[in-house]
Amino acid sequence: PNNNRSSCITDYHIITTFAIRTTPRMSQLNVVSQSLLMDDEISIETQVMNNLSSNKPRTIIAKLAPPLFCFMAGMAVFYREANGIPAMGTILRTRQLYVPYNTSTTVNLPEWTKSFADVWEPMLESDTPFFWEIPKAGGSTITKVWSYCLGLVLASDQGIETNNVDLAVYSVDSPVAPFPHVPRYVNVKTQNEYWINKCKERGLLESGLADAFVSPHLSYAGANLFEGGHKARGLVMMRHPVKRMIDHYFYRQSIHNGANIDTQIPTLSLEEYVDSDQMLENFEVRLLNGITDSTAEITEEHLVIAKEILRRKFIVGIFEWFDVGMVRFEKYFGWWDKYNVMNDMAVNNCHFSLIEGRDYLTNFPKVEKNAEKIYTTIMRRNWADIELYQYAKALFAEQAKLI
Confidence grade of residue 172 (pLDDT, cut at 50, 70, 90)? confident
What is the pLDDT at residue 29?
Answer: 42
pLDDT of residue 339: 94
CB 190 within 8 A of CB 202: no
Alpha-carbon distance of 383 to 376, in angstroms, equals 10
- What is the predicted pLDDT for the residue at 91? 47
Least confident of 84-93, 150-159, 162-171: 84-93
pLDDT of res. 162: 65
CB 224 within 8 A of CB 200: yes
Average pLDDT over residues 149-173: 84
Q: Which residue has the higher pLDDT, 24 or 283?
A: 283
**pLDDT above 50 (res 23):** no
DSSP assignment of 139-150? HHHHHHIIIIIT
Say if residue 224 is exposed, middle or buried (CB neighbours under 10 Å; 0-12, 13-18, 19+): middle
Q: Is the pLDDT of residue 296 over 90?
A: yes
Q: How far is CA 4 from the centre of its chain?
A: 85
pLDDT of residue 259: 47
Q: Is the pLDDT of residue 263 over 80?
A: no
Task: Please classify residue 181 by burial: count the beta carbons closer than 10 Å to its beta carbon, then call 0-12 exposed, 13-18 middle and 19+ buried.
Answer: buried
Q: What is the pLDDT of residue 37?
A: 45
- Comparing 69-78, 127-136, 242-251, 254-263, the range with the smallest average pLDDT is 254-263
Give the model confidence (pLDDT) of 191-239 as tens digits.
Answer: 889 999 999 998 999 999 999 999 999 999 999 999 878 999 999 999 9
319 or 1, which is more confident? Answer: 319
298 in Cβ contact with 336 (< 8 Å)? no
Percent pLDDT > 70 in the chain is 72
> Taking residues 23-43, what's their average pLDDT?
46
Q: What's the average model confidence in pLDDT over 342-355?
A: 90
Q: Range with the lowest mean pLDDT among 10-19, 121-130, 157-166, 277-286?
A: 10-19
Q: How far apart are CA 246 and CA 253, in angstroms?
A: 11
Q: Does 17 have pLDDT greater than 50?
A: no
Question: Which of 8 and 276 is assigned the larger pLDDT?
Answer: 276
pLDDT of residue 258: 43
In terms of pLDDT, which residue wins out, 60 or 55? 60
The candidate with the shortest Cα–Cα distance to 318, out of 307, 306, 328, is 328
The mean predicted confidence, pLDDT, of the chain is 80
pTM for the full predicted model: 0.73
Q: Between helices 5-22 and 44-54, what is the axis angle to 10°? A: 30
**Pair 65, 49: CB distance under 8 Å:** no
**More confident position, 250 or 303:** 303
213 vs 78: which has the higher pLDDT? 213
| Mean pLDDT confidence for 309-338 | 95
